[in-house]
């Protein structure tokens, strides 16, 4: 009998190590041997907060291979590489029955780790058992590292798809962390016009430039650069990717009258905004959280086709035992890492 090892949040800045015996998957479920799990900003917040995350969400960016397939599962086989995602619209929840399949309640619950089949812990683990709905086969053209970065790509693919900006739209991306850089690439693929990326970190600005973006500025330069580009009109679309509460109103003020503010960064505190300003300027404000099944499919095709570079975001791989130290480093604000992967096979 083999034993699976995992790490889970036990309290503020506290992790507990657990071990469970490997079992055969339940009907409709599969067992995945984890290859890599990405560390998300949500994981960092969940670690420092100690209680905000459902157990399945701590370690939700993962890829691996199927080691067992349960009864009743079709279209999946042992040895197949997969990523963790969400299933197609269920067809029977209230949203689906009302015709709103893009807002399927079942998919939303899966994305937030609160569905009835959510595992007891996330994929900072050697192995996980999940519903077969939750795994999506990886195209042959993707490396394991690229597959590990599909989930955040799907997050940003979803946001850009929701915005549905006109071709050539003047675009601002605020924040050049993983979500900002992936948003910028997806927006470029969707036909964005002149684009300005704002980021305080020199290393992240350099990475944005490496990815082919030419107008990459410090936050203090953003307003002047945008005014010069648009003769003071403002951006057609602003993607706010930092989640810093104090930036919400200033971000809105970068948008031209009638333009769009897209919210990807998730603030953990309330924000103060000028409701009258937003209304008077007829802003369209689009919130975006998580994804649909089709966003994973589209994201993987974009990566496989070379239209999204995720490998350049990967700056380090560490073993499972290093997770507490890496979480502390990423929370410090002084880390030079962009995207860190955990390899549970490493010591």
Query: Regarding beta strands 81-84 and 135-137, do their DSSP bridges make them parallel or antiparallel, or are they unpaired?
Result: antiparallel
| Residues 165-215 pLDDT 10s | 999 999 999 999 999 999 999 999 999 999 999 999 999 999 999 999 999
User: How far apart, in whole angstroms, are the C-alpha atoms of residue 216 and residue 233?
Assistant: 19
pTM higher than 0.85, yes or no?
yes
Asked whether residue 2 carries a pLDDT value surpassing 90, the answer given is no
**CATH for the stretch 154-287:** 3.40.50.720
Question: What mean pLDDT is reported for the chain?
Answer: 95
pLDDT of residue 271: 87
Asked whether residue 1 carries a pLDDT value surpassing 70, the answer given is no
pLDDT of residue 25: 94
| Residues 116-139 pLDDT 10s | 999 999 999 999 999 999 999 999
User: How far apart, in whole angstroms, are the C-alpha atoms of residue 84 and residue 131?
Assistant: 10
Tokens of 336: 């030079």
Q: What percent of the chain stands above pLDDT 90?
A: 93
Give me the mean pLDDT over the 18-29 stretch. 91
| Residues 35-48 pLDDT 10s | 999 999 999 999 99
Helices marked H in 75-199 — which ranges?
94-97, 105-111, 144-148, 150-163, 178-189
User: How far apart, in whole angstroms, are the C-alpha atoms of residue 178 and residue 204?
Assistant: 9
Same fold? 3-149+310-343, 154-287: no
| Residues 275-313 pLDDT 10s | 999 999 999 999 999 999 999 999 999 999 999 999 999
User: How far apart, in whole angstroms, are the C-alpha atoms of residue 196 and residue 80?
Assistant: 40
pLDDT of residue 17: 94
User: How far apart, in whole angstroms, are the C-alpha atoms of residue 95 and residue 109?
Assistant: 12
pLDDT of residue 267: 86
pLDDT of residue 347: 64
Asked whether residue 325 carries a pLDDT value surpassing 70, the answer given is yes
pLDDT of residue 331: 93
| Residues 59-79 pLDDT 10s | 999 999 999 999 999 999 999
Where in the chain are the domains?
3-149+310-343, 154-287
Q: Which CATH architecture does the domain made up of 3-149+310-343 adopt?
A: Alpha-Beta Complex (3.90)
Bridge partners (DSSP) of residue 340 are: 316
């Amino acid at each position: 009998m083999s034993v699976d090892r995992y790490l889970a949040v036990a309290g503020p800045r506290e992790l507990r190590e657990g071990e469970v015996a490997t079992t055969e998957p339940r009907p409709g479920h599969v067992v995945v041997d984890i290859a890599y799990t990405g560390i998300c900003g949500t994981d960092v917040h969940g670690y420092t907060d100690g209680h905000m995350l459902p157990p399945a969400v701590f370690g939700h960016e993962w890829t691996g291979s199927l080691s067992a397939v349960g009864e009743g599962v079709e279209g999946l086989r042992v040895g197949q590489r997969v990523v963790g995602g969400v299933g197609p619209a269920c067809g029977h929840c209230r949203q689906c029955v009302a015709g709103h399949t893009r807002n399927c309640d079942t998919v939303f619950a899966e994305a937030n780790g609160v569905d009835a089949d959510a595992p007891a812990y996330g994929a900072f683990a050697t192995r996980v058992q999940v519903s077969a709905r939750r795994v999506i086969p990886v195209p042959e053209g993707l490396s394991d590292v690229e597959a590990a970065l599909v989930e955040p790509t799907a997050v940003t693919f979803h946001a850009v798809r929701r915005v549905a900006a006109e071709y050539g739209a003047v675009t601002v991306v605020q924040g050049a962390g993983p979500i900002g850089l992936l948003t910028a690439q997806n927006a470029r693929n969707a036909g964005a016009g002149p684009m300005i990326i704002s980021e305080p970190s020199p290393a992240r600005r350099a990475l944005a430039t490496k990815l082919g973006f030419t107008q990459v500025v410090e936050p203090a330069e953003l307003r002047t650069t945008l005014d010069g580009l648009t003769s003071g009109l403002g951006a057609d679309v602003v993607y706010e990717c930092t989640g810093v509460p104090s930036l919400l109103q200033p971000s809105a003020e970068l948008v031209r009258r009638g333009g769009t503010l897209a919210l990807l960064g998730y603030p953990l505190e309330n924000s103060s905004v000028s409701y009258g300003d937003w209304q008077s300027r007829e802003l369209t404000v689009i919130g975006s959280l998580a994804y649909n099944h089709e966003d994973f499919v589209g994201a993987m095709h974009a990566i496989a086709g070379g239209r999204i570079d995720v490998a350049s975001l990967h700056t380090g791989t560490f073993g499972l035992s290093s997770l507490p130290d890496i979480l502390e480093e990423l929370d410090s604000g002084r880390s030079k890492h962009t995207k860190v992967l955990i390899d549970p096979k490493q010591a």
